[in-house]
Structure 1
Amino acid sequence: MIKKSRFLRPILPFLCAAALFFTPVRAVETDVSFQDVPQDAWYASFVYYVQAQGLMSGTGAGTFSPNLPMTRGMLLTVLYRVAGSPLQDESGVGTLFSDVPLDAWYAPGIYWARSEGIASGYSEETFGPDDPITREQLVTMLWRYSGSPSAQIDSAFADEDAISLWADTAVSWASAEGLVSGTSGNRFEPIGLATRAQAAVILTNYDQQNPQEQPDPDPEPDPTPEVPEETLPPLLPNSYDSSAFVVENGFLTYQGGTPSYVGIDVSAHQKLIDWEKVAASGVDFVMIRAGYRGYTQGLIYQDDYFTYNINEALRVGLDVGIYFFSQATSVEEAREEALQTLEWIEDYDITYPVVFDWERVSQSNSRTKDTTGDMITACAREFCGIIADAGYTPMTYGSPSKVGKDLQLDQLSDFPFWLAHYTIDWCPTSFQYHYDMWQYSSSGMVDGIDVRVDLNICLRDW
């Protein structure tokens, strides 16, 4: 197993949501809605992200139970999924815990975690899968998952004497790394419990904030190295002034000398939109989903509300861009997607980019789950090249964690980039490379739209 080096950014009083930066991709399109997760709840976008990515699921029909304590079995199942749900031979599971039957939903994660040294049972016979997870247990499991890095045992918490000996190093490491801080009175509260909402925040950040560490390739002899045929241009750095991002009239704006425009992106998931109200709310532009390719059979569909949305958005005077939700697994499929998109938009005045939006779907029945980054990048180049040849502005879309993994920006520098990076309180993104548009929230509320909608800022003219 390759241990992960990506890890949590500083979290407020331990497990709180404020000031936590995270980096989700736009969640895989889903109609799931939890009746116990208010749209304006601080944890709402985190919950829908982990649900869409298959990391956490609901607890019943239409419920997520955000205030329910996270259990040991739940957490290890999530980490198991983050690790890619590695296959296990039943013969390699070892001695079974009496309270973890092999057919239990949490069994794969628990036995995998035991084999990797991430978690152990209370004894050789019992594990306690349904027991709420404590703060020191959570930190320890994450520390082990990260490779058990060394740390000086000096947590400096007022209640450090209450921290179990087996958790000392993990807590000290988490404190030194700025991953946790004390609650009132600088207390760690090691046996305090974490809720499912708090876990969703942590796991969203854990899954998205930092790229995975890749294994070092075995060295191969190369007696006659070849001169590279092409040297890729370096990526431009993020040169925006963080202090120039301000919130005005409910939207993020930029006052640093660069053009700044307010935008949203919509699809059938926003249902029927009152575009008169949207235009009056201060929105300048909209990115409309033209269509998508299914991730099981690979068929192409037009978005059910595309025609309505584009006609109405243009009627009320908004600038319009387009995105296609791609699941291409070959350059030929990317070409098919581009040509179909051009056919759909040929009669409309498109003044903003036409975007290639490829997002990995990890479900077991997904035809795209094993698509390589090289292929995704090749598909992006094919799609964008066709769009450019037709006279439109092409654009790619992705999050920091996907850059260099699924989307190799150094091979796509000819095209503008739309960054997806949600931050608490819309704090400036830490993304290090240049971007032209930034999708900074998935839980915006805009007059004329009855459900949550993605919010965007565009930092250039087209």
Structure 2
Amino acid sequence: MKRKTELLQILTSIMLIIALGGTKAYAAEVEGTFRDVPVGSWFEEAVAYVWENGLMSGTGEDTFSPDMAMTRGMLVTVLYRAAGSPSWEETGEETFLDVQPDAWYRDGVYWARAEGIADGYSQTQFGPNDLVTREQLVTMLWRFAGSEQAGGELEFNDQDMISSWAVQAVRWAGDNGLVSGKLGNFFDPQGQATRAETAVILTRYCQWAAAEDPESGLEEEEEPEEEEQEEQEEQPSNPLAHNPYDPEAFVVENGFLTYQGDAASHIGVDVSAHQGEIDWERVAASGVEFAMIRVGYRGYTAGNIYQDAYFEANINGALDAGLQVGIYFFSQATTVSEAREEALQTLEWIEDYDITYPVVFDWERVDSDSSRTKDTTGTVVTACAKAFCTVVEEAAYTPMTYGSPSKVGKDLHLSELTDYAFWLAHYTTGWQPTSFQYFFNMWQYSSNGSVDGIDGRVDLNLCLTNWPNS
């Protein structure tokens, strides 16, 4: 499977949509900034959003030029910013004669070419000042988002005018509410895309992408008390090993929970794009020994698979800082086939990295009316966990499952998963020893941790196992 344009397709939503109350607040911020953006106009809130978040800037001190046509140079620069302005190395293939070394759009041009978002007309011509059509705008955004196939039907009155290479992109954008027709339900594929239209479509994309990330829809408790055991489905009677750890041996040192008994004790964090940019050297210097990094997730509505926007930055940063690294995939699988698909995609994404900690199946229920997993049974979830772990084990990695006390038995039948390591999520008051009665290899004991080098909250973990390859 071709590596999707993971380039932080969801980064925009994760970093920029801190709260989806979003655009109206931004409009208040930008009011009066641009004299050519009328209050109450159809593009006012979108312009405010892209300006406030650094995706698009004004064309003058107090002008946005909403009716100005977008150029290729402008558009690739906007997408490059949405991807977090990733660094790239010159390879000697920077051959476009119409892209000068000091051009403001140069980074965006060569980044977009490397990622398959926008090619040149030839090896020497990119056309940075050429105007962008509406179908070209949608196609570049579609490639940025991973080129997902769309199954909906085109319903524009001028759909026969859409170029064959743009049909899938326009269908995808229509299916997800990113574009709508002009007066008379015409898409106007060859019409010039304006800066206002670009701002609106990009804002809609950010909001759509945020809704697809299941972790963004989960409510995190500040520091929950002991979790009450929910009513559990009946499980097979396979015996589960009991919690062997001495409660008196859990000791807080230097801001982290440690274990000073007859077991391993390793300090760790787990991270995803929600943490943003991380200074891994500072994290390592703080005493952290390992990182569990989100490689990707399946959306909880449409069920598409995405690479975590910061996966590459996080894994390279953690490894370069000397940390041991494990991986987790945030699953929303509803069938064994989907679980295998998630495992295979995970293996493809991690094959070039030194993974010494487990590869984790992290399935969490999203209680939303639009969630595809809200009615999934524990029997199905457990079968999916087995399928994922089997694929991981066959690839010579250490498979692991993840869950909290209230989910064990309801969503995850541990008695059927005793061949695999288990990562416990249990946030106790004051980091008191967990009352979980069964064996676990790793304990996520806080979702409200503070670690030097990471802005905001981060999950803290204690690993009680020495892994074979670590």
For the aligned pair, the TM-score class normalised by the smaller chain equals: 0.5 to 0.7
After superposition, the C-alpha distances for 1:240-281 in whole angstroms (9 at most, x for unaligned) are: 000000000100000012110000000000000000100000
State the distance in 2 between where 1:461 and 1:309 align.
22
SS in 2 for 1:210: coil
Structure 2 residue runs without a partner (length 5+): 1-13, 22-220
Q: Does 1:278 align with 2:278?
A: no
Identify the residue that residue 424 of structure 1 maps to in structure 2: 429
State the distance in 1 between where 2:424 and 2:457 align.
19
SS in 1 for 2:443: strand
What is the CA distance between 1:330 and its match in structure 2? 0.2
* Aligned ranges 1:205-354 → 2 under 5 Å: 205=225, 208-212=227-231, 233-354=238-359
SS in 1 for 2:370: coil
State the distance in 2 between where 1:396 and 1:213 align.
18
* Aligned ranges 1:151-230 → 2 under 5 Å: 205=225, 208-212=227-231
Q: Aligned AA for 1:420?
A: A
State the distance in 2 between where 1:265 and 1:288 align.
6
Identify the residue that residue 439 of structure 2 maps to in structure 1: 434
Instruction: State TM-score, norm by structure 1.
Output: 0.53
State the distance in 1 between where 2:448 and 2:330 align.
19
SS in 2 for 1:402: coil
What is the CA distance between 1:212 and its match in structure 2? 2.4
Q: Does 1:445 align with 2:464?
A: no
Contact 1:419–1:437 (CA under 8 A) maintained in structure 2? yes
Contact 2:222–2:448 (CA under 8 A) maintained in structure 1? no
What is the CA distance between 1:233 and its match in structure 2? 3.5
State the distance in 2 between where 1:461 and 1:213 align.
32
Contact 1:438–1:456 (CA under 8 A) maintained in structure 2? yes
State the distance in 2 between where 1:365 and 1:348 align.
35
Deviates more, 1:232-241 or 1:377-386: 232-241
SS in 1 for 2:382: helix
Q: Aligned AA for 1:346?
A: E
- Give the number of the structure with larger relative contact order, counting CA–CA contacts within 8 Å between residues 6 or more apart: 1
After superposition, the C-alpha distances for 1:116-164 in whole angstroms (9 at most, x for unaligned) are: xxxxxxxxxxxxxxxxxxxxxxxxxxxxxxxxxxxxxxxxxxxxxxxxx
Contact 1:232–1:411 (CA under 8 A) maintained in structure 2? no
What is the CA distance between 1:209 and its match in structure 2? 2.1
After superposition, the C-alpha distances for 1:330-357 in whole angstroms (9 at most, x for unaligned) are: 0000000000000000000000000000
Contact 1:265–1:287 (CA under 8 A) maintained in structure 2? yes
**Aligned match for 1:396, one of 393, 398, 401:** 401
SS in 2 for 1:343: helix
Task: Give the direction of change, closer, same or farther, for the CA distance of 1:388–1:369 in structure 2 (3 Å limit).
Answer: same
Aligned length: 254
Identify the residue that residue 68 of structure 2 maps to in structure 1: none
SS in 1 for 2:252: strand
SS in 2 for 1:262: strand
After superposition, the C-alpha distances for 1:286-333 in whole angstroms (9 at most, x for unaligned) are: 000000000000000000000010011001100000000000000000
State the distance in 2 between where 1:454 and 1:376 align.
24
Identify the residue that residue 126 of structure 2 maps to in structure 1: none
State the distance in 1 between where 2:20 and 2:267 align.
28
Contact 2:329–2:360 (CA under 8 A) maintained in structure 1? yes
Task: Give the direction of change, closer, same or farther, for the CA distance of 1:386–1:213 in structure 2 (3 Å limit).
Answer: closer
What is the CA distance between 1:385 and its match in structure 2? 0.4
Contact 2:336–2:387 (CA under 8 A) maintained in structure 1? yes
SS in 2 for 1:417: strand
After superposition, the C-alpha distances for 1:202-258 in whole angstroms (9 at most, x for unaligned) are: 9x559x4222277x9xxxxxxxxxxxxx98641000010000000001000000121
State the distance in 2 between where 1:299 and 1:33 align.
23
Q: Aligned AA for 1:212?
A: E
Contact 1:246–1:253 (CA under 8 A) maintained in structure 2? yes
Contact 2:402–2:425 (CA under 8 A) maintained in structure 1? yes
Task: Give the direction of change, closer, same or farther, for the CA distance of 1:213–1:287 in structure 2 (3 Å limit).
Answer: closer
State the distance in 1 between where 2:390 and 2:277 align.
33
Contact 1:289–1:322 (CA under 8 A) maintained in structure 2? yes
Structure 1 residue runs without a partner (length 5+): 1-28, 36-199, 217-229
RMSD of aligned Cα (Å): 2.4
Q: Does 1:406 align with 2:411?
A: yes
